[in-house]
Structure 1
Amino acid sequence: MVKTREILIIITFFSLWLTNYFEAGSQSILAFSLLFSVGLLHGSNDLQLLGRTFFKKKKTTFYTRLALYLAVVFAAFSLFFTAPLLALFLFIGVSGYHFGEQHWDEYLGRSPLNKLFFAAYGLGILFLLFFLNPVETSQVIEQLTQFAVPKMWYAYGLLIAAGLFAIILPYYIGAKMISPPKAVQELFLLVVFAVLFRWASLVWAFTIYFIFWHSVPSIKEQVAYLYGKVNKQSVKKYLRGAIWVWLASIVGLVVFFKLMEGGNQSFLTIFFSFLGAITFAHTVIIARMFDQQE
């Protein structure tokens, strides 16, 4: 029987193969279509998760949770325009931890060392992407922050994250927290990501990783947490709960872009600022979800 991870590897190489048939512009259209659909959808049930994770024993109204959530999102979004470089560093750090947590939490507990390992793995993924696409990455960062990042920073970030990963992983193997076959599988997966990041464009490579290796598994975990199991009925419930927030996010992004049209901010700047703002709130909520499952 083909396992989920094997299917994801096939999808990854198929998506990479598609780059031979799509120009860069077409890749970007396809990438943003996936980011706007599945990518935003995986964070669109945060209000329901917020109620279950932080207010399970407290009586709060939907509007109270909505106001709290929006306050965090707007504060983070504003940071991208008032202190963009700080916001970018926070976004990369939070995203790296979030990616690593989602990938490894099923196998490891919630100890401080494990959380450091989550961050090392996720940041290693991000800096590997940046290191293998330095020109495109620097262009995006300069649009966001007006700061020209030295390309060596990507190498330094990758070396630090990979070094931590390389130190902690053997300890886990020796402590029998991770089996040798599992470690080999994970190292092979890193090779797969390196091939993907090297040959696909920055946006397309990020999208393939973010959608298929993060968003889809995250949705599965959220469905199991909210409804006890993953089946057709529970997925439908998840989609019904997420659809209105997803639509509101799309409308809000379009409206804000129209309001900012003609200014100095590009669509890419606004989109990643929006994605970053949602990520801050989403990461806290998902971390709390994992804490409660411990």
Structure 2
Amino acid sequence: MVKTREILIIITFFSLWLTNYFAAGSQSILAFSLLFSVGLIHGSNDLQLLNKTFFKTKRTTFFTQLGLYLLVVFTAFALFFWLPVVALTLFILVSGYHFGEQHWDEFFGRSVWNKMFYASYGLGILFLLFYLNPEDTTAVIEQLTAFAVPKDWFVYGLIGSGAVFGLLLIKYAYQQKIAPAKLAQELLLLVVFTILFYWASLVWAFTIYFIFWHSIPSIKEQVQYLYGKVTKKSVLKYLRGAVWVWLISMVGLLVFFKLMESGNQSFLTIFFSFLGAITFAHTVIISRMFDQQN
């Protein structure tokens, strides 16, 4: 585990170093290439996970499962256009919990306090990113919602989530639920994230965190859950199962963007609406996966 973290830290700083050699436009192209490939792939096996987590002991057809999944995705997607402020708020809350749960679940469990810990950690990461990139963050939010968010909100969000996370972390350390070495690693990691978010642009910083610290570890956990162990063969099986959903997602996103091209929606608006729509369903499925593993 330590070795993996050390490799990820090296990759993080290498990715940060690359920003010296890429203009902002090139960074965005590289960032979206990673988000469209690894980022979407990590959520493209949701149907197989849905079958195993919710319907393994129930007699339901593939099309019933697909219909339920698409209903959630399209409802969430529509929410970004009908009630964008509500949708974005839910997206941030759900994403924060999802990031924290994926990062910490193997060390704790499924109690209410632990879930609060996961949410506070993930929200702390997001608000740290927003706080260190206030101009770009407010611009993206205004594109999505037509609402100009006061920059002080990022401070309040960071202080609030950070305080809850810090208090629970102290509680767990006092109860010896987290080893001193692990505590030191996690605090060092927060320093690494702070450096990353401070020096990189909003999109590039989010991409590095999302791909290397969330998506790739999540793929590893999904492969372990679906196939029992992580091997070259099981990873390839996972990718074969995910690729057709990934292709459909890419085609759907492209078609929808073309349909909306004549309107006022920017590519960024459509992309984050699409990402948010998938995130709602994905978070429920992954959380159920963790429930069954504990």
For this structure pair, what is the TM-score category when the shorter chain's length is used for normalisation? over 0.9
Deviations 1:126-157 (A, max 9, x none): 00000000000000000000000000000000
Deviations 1:186-228 (A, max 9, x none): 0100000000000000000000000000000000000000000
Higher mean Cα deviation, 1-10 or 284-293? 1-10
Q: Secondary structure at the match of 1:263?
A: coil
Q: Distance in 2 between matches of 1:249 and 1:111?
A: 34
Q: CA deviation at 1:174?
A: 1.1
Q: Distance in 1 between matches of 2:170 and 2:147?
A: 38
What is residue 77 of structure 2 aligned with on the other side?
77
What is residue 202 of structure 1 aligned with on the other side?
202
What is residue 228 of structure 1 aligned with on the other side?
228
Letter in 1 for 2:46: D
What is residue 161 of structure 2 aligned with on the other side?
161
Q: CA deviation at 1:62?
A: 1.1
Q: Distance in 2 between matches of 1:256 and 1:2?
A: 42
What is residue 89 of structure 2 aligned with on the other side?
89
Q: CA deviation at 1:180?
A: 1.3
Deviations 1:220-277 (A, max 9, x none): 0000000000001100110111000000000000000000001110000000000000
Q: Distance in 1 between matches of 2:105 and 2:10?
A: 23
Q: Distance in 1 between matches of 2:82 and 2:180?
A: 47
Query: 5+ residue gaps in structure 1?
Result: none
What is residue 147 of structure 1 aligned with on the other side?
147
Q: Secondary structure at the match of 1:21?
A: coil
Q: Distance in 1 between matches of 2:262 and 2:17?
A: 37
Letter in 2 for 1:232: K
Letter in 1 for 2:138: S
Q: Does 1:218 align with 2:223?
A: no
Q: Distance in 2 between matches of 1:128 and 1:270?
A: 24
Letter in 2 for 1:155: V
Q: Distance in 1 between matches of 2:14 and 2:108?
A: 30
Paired residues, number = 294
Q: Distance in 2 between matches of 1:63 and 1:27?
A: 39
What is residue 127 of structure 2 aligned with on the other side?
127
* TM-score with structure 1 setting the length: 0.99
Q: Distance in 2 between matches of 1:119 and 1:2?
A: 24
Matches within 5 A, 1:31-110: 31-110=31-110
Matches within 5 A, 1:250-269: 250-269=250-269
Higher mean Cα deviation, 48-57 or 172-181? 172-181
Q: Distance in 2 between matches of 1:74 and 1:279?
A: 12
Matches within 5 A, 1:235-246: 235-246=235-246
Q: Secondary structure at the match of 1:262?
A: coil
Instruction: Give structure 1 regions of 4+ aligned residues with deviation exceeding 2 angstroms.
Output: none
What is residue 5 of structure 1 aligned with on the other side?
5
Q: Distance in 1 between matches of 2:162 and 2:235?
A: 36
Q: Distance in 2 between matches of 1:176 and 1:251?
A: 49
Q: Secondary structure at the match of 1:149?
A: coil
* TM-score with structure 2 setting the length: 0.99
Q: Distance in 1 between matches of 2:254 and 2:91?
A: 22
Q: CA deviation at 1:2?
A: 7.2
Q: State, as a whole percentage, how many aligned pairs show the same letter.
A: 76
Q: Distance in 2 between matches of 1:101 and 1:89?
A: 18
What is residue 278 of structure 1 aligned with on the other side?
278
Q: Does 1:16 align with 2:16?
A: yes
Letter in 1 for 2:14: F
Query: 5+ residue gaps in structure 2?
Result: none
